[in-house]
Amino acid sequence: MDVFDELLRGVRGKGAVFGRSVLWPPWSLRFTDGPYLTLLLPLRGAGWIVPEDGEPRRVAIGEAAIVRGPAPFSFTDDPADAADTGRAAGVREVRWGEEPADAAEPEREFTGPTVLLAAAYDVRAQVPQRLLRALPPVLVVADDADCTPLRDYLEGQIGIGGPGRQIVLDRLLDWLLVCTLRDWFDRPEARPPGWYAALGDEVAGPALRAIHADPAHSWSTAELAARAGVSRTTLAKRFTELVGDGPVAYLTEWRMTLAADLLSSTELTVAAVARRVGYADAFGFGAAFKRLRGVSPGAYRREAAPEPDRAAPAG
């Protein structure tokens, strides 16, 4: 499996499609519910993203934007007045999982100067966060050839009722999110983590891919070096230069990342989680987990358990 696909395979939208109402100036959408990521896709016109503590960024049709949460932000026609509560007639608060107030008027969907689609992603899993933590607070990327045809299809799907409509919209927006992230990390201004850049390296890349393909295997530096066709010394030096850790240290950290998600999202016993990530017994696994995470596996599971009032709303 491609490492990029592996890191993002659990990132899914949850029925959070907004902006299906007509936006006539003056207007401002205030996103306050704090998801980890918000994808913004103008289908008509343009607007300004205004973070709480950042510079406004303009996004227009033909572009997609991603805002990293959980801080609130605004999407507005006038960045100078984004926080002006006196514009009451044009200010609307948007909360994750709630329908827009006028969503029942599909015939008016695309008659205004600006129309926005947005999807919220409440990413708590540790695996995708290894990639997403490297994102800036706001990024804007022009559509590529793969994503442009989706805009027309999305417009057609918005006004269609019937079973499965929301699932179709969610998956289309998931596709656009992945396209946008992929294009962003290929840009020169992006600052991906060292291991991401190392995937394309002829020495470190084969070792990294082997670790991700089979993290439970008891990889040694010598075995990983053989995958790359170099000596142990060459692999260790190059891997550490690019990634920041040696191959075995990286393997241990990746195993603990996988284990953290298993502990928080499954009912597997600690011993079963240990076996899943390559440890023969819970004792050795628990010692490694506590060394890297600062708490025992059992304590981590208790702390990661969602509180009732934090549960995601049904899509």
pLDDT for residue 86: 46
Give the pTM.
0.77
- Bridge partner residues of 15 (DSSP): none
Domain-embedded: residue 126: yes
Domain-embedded: residue 246: yes
- According to DSSP, residue 114 is labeled B
What confidence tens digit (pLDDT) does each residue in 241-283 have? 999 999 999 999 999 999 999 999 899 999 999 999 999 999 9
pLDDT for residue 292: 95
Domain-embedded: residue 315: no
Alpha helices in 266-296 (DSSP H): 270-276, 282-293
- The answer to whether residue 13 scores a pLDDT higher than 90 is no
pLDDT for residue 101: 46
CA distance linking residue 76 with residue 58, whole number of Å: 9
Q: Range with the lowest mean pLDDT among 26-40, 159-173, 209-223, 238-252? A: 159-173
pLDDT for residue 80: 79
Mean pLDDT of 128-154: 80
Number of domains within the chain: 2
- The answer to whether residue 1 scores a pLDDT higher than 60 is no
Q: What b/e sequence results for 54-88 when a residue is b if at least 16 CB atoms lie within 10 Å of its CB, and e otherwise? A: eebbebeeebbbbbbbeebbbbbbbbebbeeeebe
Domain-embedded: residue 138: yes
Q: Do 103 and 236 fall into the same domain?
A: no
Confidence of residue 239 (pLDDT cuts 50, 70, 90): very high
Domain-embedded: residue 309: no
Q: Do 134 and 71 fall into the same domain?
A: yes
Q: Do 168 and 208 fall into the same domain?
A: no
Q: Do 53 and 120 fall into the same domain?
A: yes
Q: Do 14 and 151 fall into the same domain?
A: yes
Of 167, 185, 203, the position where a domain reaches its end is 185
CA distance linking residue 198 with residue 196, whole number of Å: 5
Domain-embedded: residue 79: yes
Of 144, 167, 185, the position where a domain reaches its end is 185
pLDDT for residue 162: 61
Domain-embedded: residue 313: no
The boundaries of the domain holding residue 229 are: 195-304
What confidence tens digit (pLDDT) does each residue in 162-195 have? 666 677 777 778 888 888 888 888 888 888 888 8
pLDDT for residue 274: 97
Confidence of residue 88 (pLDDT cuts 50, 70, 90): very low
Please say whether the beta carbons of 80 and 48 come within 8 A: no
pLDDT averaged over every residue in the chain: 80
CATH number at residue 120: 2.60.120.10
Q: Do 121 and 215 fall into the same domain?
A: no
Cβ neighbours around 30 below 10 Å, total: 18
pLDDT for residue 155: 67
pLDDT for residue 104: 41
Top-confidence residue, 247 or 125: 247
CATH number at residue 214: 1.10.10.60
pLDDT for residue 176: 82
Q: Do 144 and 263 fall into the same domain?
A: no
